[in-house]
Structure 1
């Protein structure tokens, strides 16, 4: 296992590598493989990008994002009503999103999405449609997935999806079902494999929630 100092340097280098981020504005501290980001960014999408950059670094066990979204004084911050209008248009023009099923609220630049959809990819597409809009401070995704098959069938389909994915060591993963909530346990080799597992689970029809207890094996 590499030292916290080595991980810190790699995280700083990865933040510097990402063209949309200003790495000098982001503080990085590491303790026992747990990375904490602090400072300010000028958009919510940059906050998400910083977190994703950290997860690409080897030996990172967990990430705590303590980044504040602060808009520069030169930006004409949108009112909640105008931001809501722009966000609704963004959902409308995203082909994968059934915007008529989504209820959107905006409070001080914080967007909340609610409603019921058929698939996880629709939920992700709705989130991605609004996260990059100017004036967004955060996005709270409360969109639900419509109930589907029985828990037994869901678990079987998940296991088949995991075992046929070349990027996943399925033998190291335990899948538990609690009604239509999926609990993932075991170990993965990297954050990217963990993301692959989550994506495979969420792509399974009928999954309503995922509780990810997977650990990144060092």
Structure 2
């Protein structure tokens, strides 16, 4: 429900204002009661998937929140790497003491055209990811575009699922991005967001632009 405008509030009768205040007080009491039951904490497995834009951008938003709170975190990029990005440049320039950044891919698969090399890079990225997740100093690790590496069988889904279920420290958050997240990963995750594509400028002939895509 939208909040009433200032003009509407000024023209409301004292009775209307009293009813509104009472309604909001009841809503707050109900909300506070719900929030009082939410006392648990755990390291979350978070999946950003779907055909729409914003999967990595939203994940980097959480990385920057960690940095803002002075918490150590890390990023492993599984696919991207052929070009610089604003997020990587900013982190490496100003926040490398709080956030390790490892670009392990060499671009999208249609650009490298070397499946054996792509697989080797993806496996190396997964080994680095496991090392960073095991490190108790890191409270969040972002595995950017890992879903693509899993989709193309560059790394084994079963290995990822087993590691996250059995070896991830209890209070470490792990974020996995990329289209076509496997159903088994979605089932394991605590938080899953699917980005839906409604419109995209690429379809109108607009190229990827600085500050939006990278």
Instruction: Verify same fold: TM over 0.5.
Output: no
Task: Choose between structure 1 and 2: higher strand proportion.
Answer: 1
For this structure pair, what is the TM-score category when the shorter chain's length is used for normalisation? under 0.3
TM-score by length of 1: 0.24
Task: Choose between structure 1 and 2: higher helix proportion.
Answer: 2
Higher relative contact order (CA 8 A, sep 6+): 2
Larger radius of gyration, structure 1 or 2? 2
